[in-house]
């Protein structure tokens, strides 16, 4: 069994009948991210795709935007008495001329993506790409199918029931990459890191689908990755809607089958039955 899951004994009661069994839990461990050997932040995450997570975190911070911005990412020796590698510490070497971000004041929990920011204004990181002019158009059928397509790719969730998922899809609904993590912001950072390391940024005409709610930090991360559309199965926050409107991102919430709320930039969704096939021609709002 990999470190993604942990097996523990439990007492399971079904219809008043108790039984002892072994249950699989989603692993949660700290990951310290260092830049140039200096501690930057600690986040609670599900082990796996750690290099993508570190790279994606730096994309979200506005530090890097291209593969060449990062020289290397490596695991460091952990804090064990014997100096063994815990695989819970990664060090990122930035290219010459790429300024390191300021260290976070606190660790980041698996439920929060912006802990340690000095102020709300500091969270409004200046994006390198403007998604307002992205002309992607999505059909209603494509958007409605995204939750099921994301759920079908959640392999660890099937064993634990305890992970968030984030997926990148084309305008036609084809999956590009899916990541799982105990933290929804970590899952998105892993996607952004994958996109950075494979030279896919900015993610123009792509759709980011998340399994939980649409929070401010997820909208921020989508904008930082150049993603024009963010869809979530649950509700957005007021600040998430405000930021999406400000940055020109299409924000969809409560996406369950053909039912959804489009909170911002609804011109990208073609609601005509059978209309639209993921073309790049924008439809005027009306």
What's the DSSP call for residue 228?
-
Residue closest to 61 by CA, chosen among 148, 129, 136, 125: 125
CA distance 39 to 79: 13
Is residue 135 helix, strand or coil?
coil
Tokens of 94: 């930035």
Contact 69, 95 (CB under 8 A): yes
CA distance 127 to 227: 11
Contact 218, 185 (CB under 8 A): yes
CA distance 272 to 31: 46
Pick the catalytic residue from 112, 115, 177, 265. Answer: 112
CB atoms under 10 Å from CB of 150, counted, come to: 22
CA distance 276 to 173: 12
Termini Cα distance of the chain = 53
Question: Rounded to 5, what percent of the chain is helix, strand, coil?
Answer: 25, 30, 45
115 has catalytic annotation: no
Residue closest to 129 by CA, chosen among 236, 263, 248, 281: 248
Beta strands at 207-210 and 164-169: parallel, antiparallel or unpaired? antiparallel
Provide the annotated active-site residues: 112
């Amino acid at each position: 069994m990999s470190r993604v899951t942990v097996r523990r004994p439990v007492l399971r009661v079904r219809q008043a009948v108790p039984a002892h069994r072994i249950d699989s839990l989603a692993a949660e461990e700290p990951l310290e991210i260092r830049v140039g050997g200096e501690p930057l932040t600690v986040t609670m995450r599900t082990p796996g795709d750690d290099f993508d997570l570190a790279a994606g975190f730096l994309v979200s911070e506005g530090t890097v935007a291209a593969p060449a911005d990062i020289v290397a990412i490596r695991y460091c020796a952990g804090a064990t008495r014997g100096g063994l590698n815990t695989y819970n510490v990664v060090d990122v070497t930035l290219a010459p001329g790429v300024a390191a971000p300021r260290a976070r004041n606190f660790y980041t929990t698996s439920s929060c993506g912006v802990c340690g920011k000095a102020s709300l204004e500091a969270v409004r990181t200046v994006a390198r790409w403007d998604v307002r002019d992205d002309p992607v158009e999505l059909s209603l059928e494509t958007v409605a199918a995204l939750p099921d397509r994301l759920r079908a790719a959640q392999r660890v969730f099937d064993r634990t029931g305890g992970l968030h998922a984030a997926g990148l899809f084309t305008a036609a609904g084809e999956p590009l990459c899916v990541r799982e993590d105990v933290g929804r912001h970590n899952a998105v950072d892993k996607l952004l890191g994958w996109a950075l390391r494979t030279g896919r940024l900015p993610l123009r005409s792509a759709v980011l689908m998340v399994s939980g709610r649409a929070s401010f930090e997820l909208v921020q991360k989508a904008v930082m990755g150049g993603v024009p559309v963010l869809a979530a199965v649950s509700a957005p926050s007021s600040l998430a809607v405000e930021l999406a409107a400000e940055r020109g991102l299409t924000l969809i919430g409560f996406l369950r089958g053909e039912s959804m709320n489009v909170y911002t930039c609804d011109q990208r969704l073609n609601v005509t039955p059978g209309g639209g096939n993921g073309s790049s021609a924008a439809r005027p709002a009306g």
